[in-house]
C-alpha cells in the first residue's frame, strides 16, 4: 500500500472509491489486460467521507493531490552529490549513459540510473526502501519516484525486447574495444521465486534448500579486470551446463576476440567442453571430484606431488603435475588435466576435520557418562563415516574409524583442472587464478547489489530488475577499479562520497561545498571531476525548476582535467626552435660563472678603472728590509732585568731626604 500520509490533512473520499469496512482501506477497482478485477489501495479511511491518502493516490491522481495539497515547496537542506558525479562520469566514460538514452529513452535512462545508484548505495533492490534511502541524493530524474511507480516501470516500460537491444549494443561495444584477446569468466546462480503462473520460475536446486520454485541467471565478466560483459536470465530448472550454450553462442556471434573461457565445477560437462571447442574457443575448467580424470590423476600422482619441492609451481604452496587423459568415464573427451595440491588449504581442512570429529566423539562420551543408553545416542549425519557406536545397551561406547578419517584427510587440498590445450601445470593454475577477479565480481553482484533476493511478482519485472542490476554492476566496477588503483576501500569510499554536498542557501538555490577530503579528491580526479563540476551540478539542479530544461545530464567539455604532472617544480617550456637541441649533462657548463662571480663582475664594472703603474718600485718607496730596520731603530731598547744601574731604591731616597733636613736645621731628627 505504500506510505500513508497521516501527517497531511484529511481529504474527501473520491466518489469512484470504495471503503473496506473491515480494515478501513480505501480502494479502487479496475480490470487488467486479462480482464481480471484488481483492487488498488489509495488511502486509509478516517470517517465515512474522509481519508488519509497514500503514495498510490499521489501517483495515480496527481491533479486531485495538487487540488488538496498544492505543490510542495519543502526542499532538502542538502543534496549528496558525490555518487551522482561518479555515476554520471562512469556512464559517459564507458559509453553506458548515451547507450541507455538511445535504447531506453532519456527519461527512462535517468530512472534506471537512479535505481542503480540505490542498489550500489543500499546494497539491496527492495524498491519500497528507495524513498527513505535516496531522499537526499542528487538524482538523474527530476524527482524521486515511488515504489509503485517503479513497479509499473519495470513491468510496462522496460520490455524484454528493449533490454535485449541494450544487451546487444553493450556487447558490440565490448567487442569493438577488445583490442587484445582476454579470458572470459562465466558463472551462474539462482534465486528463490514465489511467482504464480510464471514461465521462468521452475522447481530446481535452490540455494536456500527450500521446496520453492527458482529462476537462474548467468553472467560473463572479463578476467582481466572484472568488467561485466553480458548476462542472461534462464528457467530455474535448467542446469548451468544447458544454459551455458545460449551464452557461449551469443558471445561467438558478437565477434568477441577472447583467449578462452574459464569455468567452475558447475560447467564440468562433456557437452559444454565439446561446444566450446566447436566454437573455436579454448577452455580451462575445474573438474568435480567425481570426474574420471580427477580420480585417475589423484590415484596416480597424489603422493608424487604432495609436499614435493620438485613439483612446486609457485610461492603459495601449490604443487602440480599435468597429463593428457580422458576426462569423463561416459565420454571420449580428452584434455590436458592438471592435478594440484594446495598445502596450506589441505592442512587447514585436515586440522578442522580432525577437530570436528574429536569434538563430536567427546560430546557423545559425555552423554555416555551422563547415563544415556545406546538406543538414545545419535551421531550427526556428517560424522557417521568417522564414528561408530559400539558396546551394549547399558554399556555403550564410541569408536573412531581411523581408516576412513585418514582416507578423507589424505584427499584434502587436491583439485584437478582440465585444459583444452596442452599446457604445463604452472600455466593452467595461472590461467584459472584469473577467476579470482570474477569471483569477487559475482560476490559483489549478490552481496553488494542485492541480487540474491527477488521481491517482484512478474516475469517481466524479474528481467528488468536483473538488467538494472547489470547496469549497476558496470558502474560499481568502474568505481571499484579506481579505488583499487588508489588503494582505497570501495565500500568506505561509497560512504565518504556522501560528505560531498550541495547546500540550500537563503536565496532558495543550491550551492556546491568543496570541503571533501584528499582521498575523495584523488578518486574524483580519476573520473575527471573537479570543483567546477560540482558548481555545474548545482546550477543544473537549480535550472530544473524551470519547466524548459533537458533530461540529458552532461559533463561539460571545458571541465576536462589537465594532464597530471610529475612531482617537483614544473619544467620551463622550451622554445620550439630549441626543441631539437641535445640535452646537456648535469652540472655547470665548462667556462660558465656562478651567481656570486657575476654579481662581483657587475659591481666592478660600475667603479672607475685604477691607473696602471709602471714596472719597478715607485720612487721614494722602501723595500721590506729597510722598513724592518727603521722600525727596529725607532723602538726604545728594552732594559734588562733588575733596577737600572745608578738608580736608588726607596729607602735610600728617604734617608737622603732626612739627612738633608738635619743638615739644614743643625738638629738630628
Mean pLDDT, rounded, for 152-159? 86
In DSSP notation, 437-506 reads: HHHHHHHIIIIIT-TT-----SHHHHHHHHHHHHHHHHHHHHHHHHHHHTT--HHHHHHHGGG-EEEEPT
CA distances from 391 to 17, 359, 398, 557 (A): 76, 20, 8, 85
pLDDT score of 455 more than 80: no
Asked if the model's pLDDT at residue 560 lies above 50, the reply is no
Residue 252 has a pLDDT of 79
DSSP letter for each residue of 642-662: SSPTT---HHHHHHHHHHHHH
Of 308-312, 426-430, 436-440, 584-588, the one with minimum mean pLDDT is: 436-440
Confidence of residue 34 (pLDDT cuts 50, 70, 90): confident
pTM over 0.85: no
Q: What is the mean pLDDT of residues 481-510?
A: 91
Confidence of residue 558 (pLDDT cuts 50, 70, 90): very low
CATH classification number, 116-132+141-286+440-473, choose in 3.90.650.10, 2.40.50.100, 3.30.420.10, 3.40.50.300:
3.30.420.10
Give the residue from 257, 327, 249 showing the smallest Cα distance to 286: 327
User: Do the Cβ atoms of 103 and 120 come closer than 8 Å?
Assistant: no
Backbone angles phi, psi at 181, to 5 degrees: -70, 145
Look at residue 598 and tell me whether its pLDDT is greater than 80. yes
pLDDT at 452 over 90: no
- The phi and psi torsions of 570 (rounded to 5 degrees) equal -60, 140
Q: What average pLDDT is seen over the chain?
A: 83
Q: Give how far Cα 205 sits from Cα of 199, 202, 378, Å.
A: 17, 10, 28
39-88 tens-digit pLDDT:
889 999 999 999 999 988 988 888 888 888 876 556 788 899 999 999 99
Helices (H), 105-206: 106-122, 130-133, 147-156, 160-177
Overall average pLDDT of the 116-137 stretch: 80
CA-CA distance, 145 to 142, in Å (whole number)?
Answer: 9
Domain positions in the chain are 11-69, 75-115+133-140+486-561, 116-132+141-286+440-473, 287-419
Among candidate residues 235, 231, 232, the one with its CA nearest the CA of residue 204: 235
Kindly report the three-state secondary structure assignment for every residue of 336-393.
EEEEEEEHHHHHHHHHHHHHHHHHHHHHHHHHHHCCCCHHHCCCCHHHCCCEEEEECC
**Is residue 218 within 8 Å of residue 243, measured between CB atoms?**
yes
339, 320 contact by CB (below 8 A)? yes
501 Ramachandran zone, left/alpha/beta (phi>0; psi -120 to 50)? beta
Backbone angles phi, psi at 387, to 5 degrees: -125, 145
Distance CA 464, CA 23 (A): 34
- Per-residue pLDDT at 486: 92
The shares of helix, strand and coil residues in the chain, as percent rounded to the nearest 5, are: 45, 15, 40
- For 387-411, write each residue's pLDDT tens digit: 999 999 889 999 999 999 999 999 9
| pLDDT tens track for 77-113 | 889 999 999 999 999 999 999 999 999 999 999 999 9
Residue 448 pLDDT greater than 50, yes or no = no
234-257 burial string, b = 16+ CB within 10 Å, else e? Answer: bbbbbebbebbeebbebbbebebe
Percent of the chain past pLDDT 90, that is, above it, reads 39
Residue 188 Cα distances to 225, 236, 359, 442, 443, angstroms? 19, 11, 36, 9, 11
pLDDT in tens, 314-372: 998 999 999 999 999 988 889 999 999 999 999 999 999 999 999 999 999 999 999 89
Around Cβ 34, how many Cβ atoms within 10 Å? 6
| pLDDT of 179 over the 60 cut | no
State how far the Cα of 345 lies from the Cα of 456, in Å rounded to an integer: 40
d(CA 60, CA 618): 119
Cell numbers representing residue 368 in the block:
555416555
> 504 near 75, Cβ under 8 Å?
yes
How would residue 559 be classed by pLDDT, with cut points 50, 70 and 90?
A: very low
Residue 206 near residue 190 (C-beta atoms within 8 A): yes
| Residue 2 or 347, more confident | 347
Highest mean pLDDT among 135-149, 255-269, 378-392: 378-392
**Phi then psi for 563, rounded to 5 degrees?**
-65, 145
pLDDT bin (cut points 50, 70, 90) of residue 563 is: low
625-644, pLDDT tens digit by residue? Answer: 888 888 877 766 666 677 77
Structure confidence at residue 568 as a pLDDT band (50, 70, 90): low
Amino acid at each position: 500500500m505504500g506510505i500513508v500520509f497521516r501527517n497531511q490533512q484529511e481529504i474527501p473520499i473520491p466518489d469512484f472509491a470504495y471503503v473496506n469496512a473491515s480494515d478501513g482501506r480505501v480502494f479502487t477497482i479496475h480490470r487488467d489486460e486479462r480482464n481480471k478485477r484488481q483492487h488498488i489501495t489509495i488511502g486509509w479511511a478516517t470517517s465515512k467521507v474522509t481519508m488519509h491518502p497514500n503514495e498510490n493516490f499521489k501517483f495515480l491522481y496527481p491533479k486531485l493531490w495538487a487540488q488538496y495539497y498544492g505543490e510542495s515547496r519543502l526542499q532538502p537542506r542538502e543534496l549528496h552529490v558525490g555518487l551522482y558525479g561518479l555515476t554520471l562520469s562512469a556512464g559517459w566514460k564507458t559509453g553506458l549513459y548515451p547507450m541507455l538514452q538511445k535504447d531506453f529513452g532519456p527519461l527512462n535512462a535517468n530512472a534506471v540510473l537512479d535505481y542503480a545508484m540505490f542498489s550500489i548505495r543500499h546494497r539491496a533492490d527492495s524498491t519500497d526502501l528507495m524513498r527513505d534511502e535516496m531522499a537526499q541524493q542528487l538524482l538523474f530524474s527530476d524527482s524521486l519516484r515511488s515504489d509503485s511507480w517503479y513497479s509499473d516501470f519495470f513491468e510496462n516500460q522496460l520490455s524484454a525486447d528493449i533490454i535485449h537491444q541494450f544487451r546487444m549494443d553493450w556487447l558490440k561495444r565490448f567487442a569493438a574495444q577488445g583490442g587484445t584477446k582476454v579470458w572470459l569468466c562465466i558463472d551462474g546462480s539462482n534465486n528463490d521465486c514465489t511467482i504464480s503462473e510464471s514461465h521462468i520460475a521452475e522447481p530446481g536446486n535452490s540455494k536456500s534448500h527450500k521446496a520453492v520454485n527458482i529462476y537462474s541467471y548467468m553472467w560473463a565478466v572479463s578476467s582481466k579486470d572484472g568488467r561485466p560483459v553480458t548476462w542472461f536470465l534462464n528457467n530455474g530448472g535448467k542446469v548451468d551446463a544447458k544454459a551455458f550454450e545460449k551464452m557461449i553462442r551469443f558471445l561467438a556471434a558478437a565477434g568477441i576476440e577472447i583467449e578462452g573461457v574459464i569455468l567452475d565445477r558447475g560447467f564440468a560437462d562433456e557437452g559444454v567442453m565439446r561446444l566450446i571447442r566447436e566454437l573455436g574457443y579454448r577452455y580451462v575448467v575445474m573438474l568435480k571430484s567425481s570426474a574420471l580424470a580427477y580420480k585417475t590423476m589423484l590415484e596416480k600422482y597424489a603422493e608424487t606431488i604432495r609436499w614435493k619441492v620438485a613439483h612446486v609451481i609457485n610461492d603459495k604452496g601449490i604443487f602440480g603435475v599435468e597429463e593428457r587423459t580422458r576426462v569423463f568415464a561416459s565420454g571420449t573427451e580428452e584434455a590436458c588435466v592438471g592435478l594440484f595440491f594446495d598445502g596450506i588449504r589441505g592442512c587447514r581442512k585436515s586440522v578442522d576435520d580432525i577437530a570436528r570429529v574429536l569434538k563430536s566423539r567427546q560430546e557423545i562420551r559425555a552423554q555416555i557418562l551422563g547415563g544415556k543408553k545406546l538406543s538414545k545416542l545419535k551421531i550427526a549425519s556428517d560424522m557417521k563415516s568417522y564414528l561408530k557406536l559400539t558396546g551394549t545397551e547399558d554399556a555403550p561406547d564410541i569408536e573412531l574409524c581411523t581408516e576412513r578419517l585418514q582416507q578423507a584427510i589424505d584427499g584434502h587440498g587436491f583439485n584437478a583442472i582440465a585444459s583444452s590445450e596442452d599446457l604445463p601445470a604452472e600455466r593452467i593454475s595461472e590461467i584459472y587464478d584469473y577467476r579470482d577477479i570474477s569471483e569477487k565480481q559475482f560476490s559483489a553482484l549478490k552481496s553488494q547489489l542485492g541480487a540474491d533476493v527477488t521481491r517482484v511478482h512478474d516475469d517481466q519485472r524479474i528481467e528488468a530488475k536483473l538488467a538494472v542490476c547489470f547496469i549497476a554492476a558496470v558502474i560499481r566496477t568502474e568505481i571499484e577499479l579506481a579505488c583499487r588503483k588508489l588503494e582505497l576501500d570501495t565500500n568506505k569510499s561509497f560512504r565518504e562520497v556522501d560528505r560531498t554536498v550541495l547546500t540550500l542557501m537563503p536565496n532558495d538555490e543550491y550551492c556546491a561545498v568543496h570541503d571533501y577530503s584528499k582521498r575523495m579528491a584523488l578518486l574524483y580526479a580519476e573520473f575527471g571531476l573537479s570543483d567546477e563540476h560540482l558548481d555545474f551540478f548545482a546550477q543544473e539542479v537549480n535550472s530544473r525548476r524551470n519547466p524548459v530544461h533537458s533530461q540529458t545530464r552532461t559533463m561539460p567539455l571545458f571541465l576536462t582535467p589537465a594532464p597530471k604532472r610529475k612531482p617537483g617544480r614544473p619544467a620551463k617550456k622550451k622554445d620550439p626552435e630549441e626543441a631539437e637541441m641535445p640535452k646537456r649533462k648535469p652540472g655547470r657548463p665548462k667556462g660558465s660563472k656562478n651567481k656570486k662571480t657575476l654579481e662581483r663582475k657587475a659591481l666592478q664594472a660600475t667603479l672607475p678603472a685604477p691607473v696602471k703603474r709602471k714596472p719597478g718600485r715607485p720612487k721614494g718607496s722602501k723595500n721590506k728590509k729597510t722598513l724592518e730596520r727603521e722600525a727596529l731603530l725607532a723602538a726604545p731598547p728594552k732594559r734588562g732585568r733588575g733596577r737600572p744601574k745608578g738608580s736608588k731604591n726607596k729607602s735610600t731616597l728617604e734617608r737622603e731626604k732626612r739627612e738633608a733636613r738635619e743638615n739644614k736645621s743643625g738638629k738630628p731628627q
